Amino acid sequence: MKDHHINIFYSEDDQAYIADIPDFEMCSAFGDTPEQALAQVLIAKAAIVEVMQEKGLPVPEPRYRPAIYQVA
């Protein structure tokens, strides 16, 4: 089963770890540690999916793959 890719990186500007899910526009979160950022972005994703389902909108299929995995 495929799941949505999650990016986690440290932002010097924000002095925090940022997590985002490229398949969901505007789905990002931050935390003091990578684990906190991951936990927060999963909460945000769950909320987005819930609203999309309530409104009858399609939940995007996982399609994003980072360039490192696209090597032939």
**CA dist., res. 53 & res. 72, Å (int):** 36
User: For the chain, which residues make up each domain, given as ranges?
Assistant: 1-22+30-57
Q: Which H or E run contains 39?
A: helix 34-54
Read off the pTM. 0.83
pLDDT (0 to 100) of residue 25: 87
The separation between CA 3 and the C-alpha centre of its own chain, rounded to angstroms, equals 10
Burial of 20 (0-12, 13-18, 19+ CB in 10 A): buried
Structure confidence by residue, pLDDT tens digits, 12-54: 999 999 999 999 988 999 999 999 999 999 999 999 999 999 9
Structure confidence by residue, pLDDT tens digits, 53-67: 999 999 999 987 766
The token pair at 5 is 């890719």
pLDDT (0 to 100) of residue 66: 64
Higher pLDDT, residue 40 or 70: 40
**CA dist., res. 43 & res. 66, Å (int):** 22
